[in-house]
């Protein structure tokens, strides 16, 4: 796996004659996989008030979601390499059950348990959609397909930010949260009804292992992703609450900040993955996007009740940049991994990602509770983004050295 190891032979599986219809399915998978996290983010004010929990306790709900995803990733990666169809159904089932249980939760512990169940869907979402792309999407539009399917996470945040506060105010937060099961239920029915006759389950003994170079690269990328996810999750999980508490916005306006973040992410993930191939190094965007993310975090931190427009600009810019980083990283994994081991390659990458997603909200909750302000948290987030840029530079150096070694040994 090298920086230019993008010229792999196409897998023998047939390409889908209607790739854009397939992309719609992939988006629904990603919306389902992350919906509970998005819904809890937008409804944070209602949940904290009803259960009387602290910000740090609220952060542990997200941590349970991410820790479950990290723990289940190796198993789900193997499931994906065995059967993409079974993996897709797994996403829809666990997303539906987790959301229903969260909506019925009687207390903080029940919310933690529901998030842990939904974490299985989170663990399966990226590996399953990555395998579908490697086997069913032509190389010429893989960047677009990756950006579109990764935008599903931001679409979930956008829809939640626009719709859930209004539903919660009219009914309550439970009905608002549960309304989101429409997507995974519809996705499950679609996959069941469109079952293919040539569906094949690959026996465990026949599944390809990662090479040392592949494992080294994806492990380093996972470590870099850990810090990126920590910073990103801090912003994503607490942006509406920050808008409520420090910028004195209404619940609807605070939810709209989450929608702006999601909209920016939707645009950014499609934009950057579509033009990623134009850069000389496939790691270039992984280096520069975090620097831009640090700048937009500065805008968010500068917002006051009198300059709330800074928060709006910062939220959209944050989505455009920080939410797009993982889409570019996933495109790198998709293009540089063998299609027979894409599930396990993806699972290694996302273990670091989910650990960061788990740590970020907890870290933010403790920092804000301890200091009584969000400023220290924003400073930590900015430093984490800059660290990600440095680590990505180190990855680029490794890939360049690996490519040189391949040339010298005649393996390239």
Q: Along the chain (412 residues), what's the average pLDDT of each consecutive run of 10 residues?
A: 44 56 87 90 85 83 86 81 82 94 90 92 87 80 80 82 87 91 91 62 50 71 90 86 87 83 85 78 84 94 90 92 85 68 73 85 86 91 94 78 57 50
Residues contacting residue 131 through CB under 8 Å, at least 6 positions apart: 80, 81, 84, 87, 339, 342, 343, 346
Q: ∠ CA(407), CA(146), CA(68), 5° rounding?
A: 100
Using the Cα atoms of residue 59, residue 61, residue 63 and residue 65 in order, give the sign of their dihedral: negative
At 408 the pLDDT is 57
pLDDT of residue 12: 45
Asked whether the beta carbons of 73 and 354 are under 8 A apart, the reply is: yes
Full-prediction pTM beyond 0.95? Answer: no
Q: Domains for the chain: give ranges and CATH numbers.
A: 19-195+207-409 (1.20.1250.20)
Comparing C-alpha atoms, which of 35, 59, 74, 39 is closest to residue 350? Answer: 74
Length of the chain: 412
Identify the pLDDT of residue 389. 92
Report the alpha-carbon distance of residue 409 to residue 70 in Å, rounded. 37
350 neighbors 73 (Cβ within 8 angstroms): yes
- Please state, in angstroms and rounded to a whole number, the distance separating the CA atoms of residues 412 and 106: 58
Torsion of CA 314, 319, 324, 327, to 10 degrees: 160
């Amino acid at each position: 796996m090298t920086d230019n190891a993008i010229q792999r032979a196409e897998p023998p599986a047939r390409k889908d004659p209607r790739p854009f219809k397939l992309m719609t399915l992939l988006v629904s998978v990603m919306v389902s996989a992350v919906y509970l996290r998005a819904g809890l983010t937008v409804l944070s004010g209602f949940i904290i008030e009803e259960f009387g929990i602290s910000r740090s306790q609220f952060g542990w709900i997200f941590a349970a979601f991410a820790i479950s995803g990290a723990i289940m990733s190796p198993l789900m990666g193997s499931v994906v390499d065995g059967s993409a169809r079974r993996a897709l159904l797994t996403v829809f089932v666990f997303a539906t059950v987790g959301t229903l249980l969260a909506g019925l939760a009687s207390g903080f512990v029940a919310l933690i348990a529901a998030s842990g169940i939904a974490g299985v869907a989170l663990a399966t979402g990226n590996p399953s959609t990555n395998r579908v792309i490697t086997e069913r999407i032509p190389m010429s539009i893989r960047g677009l397909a990756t950006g579109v399917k990764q935008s599903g996470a931001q679409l979930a945040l956008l829809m939640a930010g626009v719709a859930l506060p209004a539903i919660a105010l009219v009914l309550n937060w439970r009905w608002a949260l549960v309304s989101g099961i429409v997507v995974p239920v519809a996705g499950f029915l679609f996959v069941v009804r469109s079952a293919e006759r040539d569906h094949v389950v690959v026996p465990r003994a026949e599944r390809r292992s990662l090479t040392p170079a592949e494992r080294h690269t994806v492990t380093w990328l996972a470590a870099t992703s850990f810090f990126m996810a920590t910073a990103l999750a801090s912003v994503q999980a607490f942006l509406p609450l920050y808008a409520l508490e420090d910028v004195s916005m209404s619940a609807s306006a605070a939810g709209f900040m989450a929608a702006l973040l999601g909209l920016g992410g939707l645009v950014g993930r499609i934009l950057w993955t579509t033009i990623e191939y134009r850069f000389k190094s496939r790691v270039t965007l992984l280096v520069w996007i975090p620097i831009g993310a640090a700048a937009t975090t500065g805008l968010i931190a500068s917002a006051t009740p009198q300059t709330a427009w800074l928060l709006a600009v910062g939220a959209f810019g944050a989505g455009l940049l920080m939410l797009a980083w993982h889409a570019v990283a996933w495109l790198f994994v998709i293009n540089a991994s063998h299609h027979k081991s894409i599930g396990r390659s993806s699972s290694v990458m996302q273990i670091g990602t989910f650990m960061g997603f788990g740590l970020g909200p907890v870290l933010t909750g403790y920092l804000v509770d301890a200091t009584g302000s969000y400023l220290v948290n924003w400073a930590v987030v900015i430093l984490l983004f800059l660290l990600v840029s440095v680590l990505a530079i180190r990855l680029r150096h490794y890939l360049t050295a690996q490519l040189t070694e391949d040339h010298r040994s005649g393996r390239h």
